[in-house]
Homo-oligomer: A and B are copies of this chain.
Amino acid sequence: MSVIRIINGDVAEKVLNLNDAIGAVERAYAAHSVGRGIIWPLVAAVFREQDGDMDIKSGCLADDGVYGLKLVSWFGGNAEKHLPQLTGTTLLFDANTGMPLALLNANAMTGLRTGAAGAIGAKYLARPDSKAMLMVGAGNQSPFQIAAMLLVMKNIETVMLANPFDHTLAKSRAAEITSKVKKLMTAAGGERNFELQPVADLEKAVGASDVITTATPSYKPMIMDGWVQPGTHFSCIGADMSGKEEIDARIFARARVFADDVEQAAAVGETEIPVRDGIIAKEDIGTIGGVIAGSVKGRLSAQDITVFDSTGLALQDLAIAKLALGAAEKLGLGTVCTL
């Protein structure tokens, strides 16, 4: 029998912050680009009878000495049952012995690592003098995206918030999102002032933005090619299933395009449709890990439009789970069980 640490949602929230998550995800991306972070095939399934789905992302992060998986499920009927619709569970193993190390509630970690992804895209690809961010999508992910962005892009002063499917939500949720952003930034030791402006005119907001983060469940483009100014950076977070699409595929014809994993992005990410339609080829897509490691060139000029397609890698989850485990061990938090 082995010993395993159970890290529930409360403990995970206590031991992790966005700055740590950004560091862990950057290291995971860089490891992926040099073959020290391997992702294994995605397993995905739909539960038709229950209006639900689940996927299992797995992989190995050699230099962190861990491998494992995250299983995420979504069940539409849970709202009525007063249960969360989205649940994530991570199982972490020792890559030198195969012994189980930890079982973690991945809900808080998923928010942090996904926020980190969007911000890292901007950190390495956006113009460093970017002043205006547009957040598209006022759902659960938006505070993580905004807070991480403000932590890494120090010149951003204005954050516009758009919710194209229901414009009223951007306004009605602005105060709650602002308060969550502040909480996340304080926890990360990076408090600073910013202004969250709900916007209804998406075209105008796109034209006024330096950095645009999209985190919606959209299946059709919300942002049109003609609206986009030279120099704009996109971090596209929402598309994680075949058919999902947030921005006009024609934008890709004039953009420098990067992904967390090229194959996965071309299969289920924002680049799926432009690749399918021949607007770009897979060979035209760089990896963000390569940009971080210095082997791939990112932005070449202030006029470039850059796109980072984040589909989510198991390696992000493993890196942050390892971090949470280390912190919980140090603080004596979580439940230690024999297994």
A45 touches B40 (CB 8 A): yes
Cα–Cα, bound, A10→B339 (Å): 9
A60 touches B78 (CB 8 A): no
Known: A41-B41, A69-B71. A50 touches B95 (CB 8 A): yes
| Chain B residues with CB below 8 A from A339, complex form | 6, 8-9, 89, 103, 105
Cα–Cα, bound, A67→B56 (Å): 12
Residue from B49, B60, B81, B335 within 8 A of A97 (CB atoms): B81
Binary interface encoding of chain A residues 30-61 relative to chain B, with 1 for a CB under 8 A from any of its CBs, else 0: 00000000101101010101101010101010
B78 touches A56 (CB 8 A): no
A83 touches B97 (CB 8 A): yes
Q: How many copies does the complex hold?
A: 2
Least CB distance from A104 to B in Å reads: 8
Binary interface encoding of chain A residues 160-180 relative to chain B, with 1 for a CB under 8 A from any of its CBs, else 0: 000000000000000000000
Residues of A within 8 A of B (CB): 1-2, 4, 6, 8-10, 38, 40-41, 43, 45, 47, 49-50, 52, 54, 56, 58, 60, 62, 67, 69, 71, 73-75, 77-78, 81, 83, 87, 89, 91, 93, 95-100, 103, 105, 335, 337-339
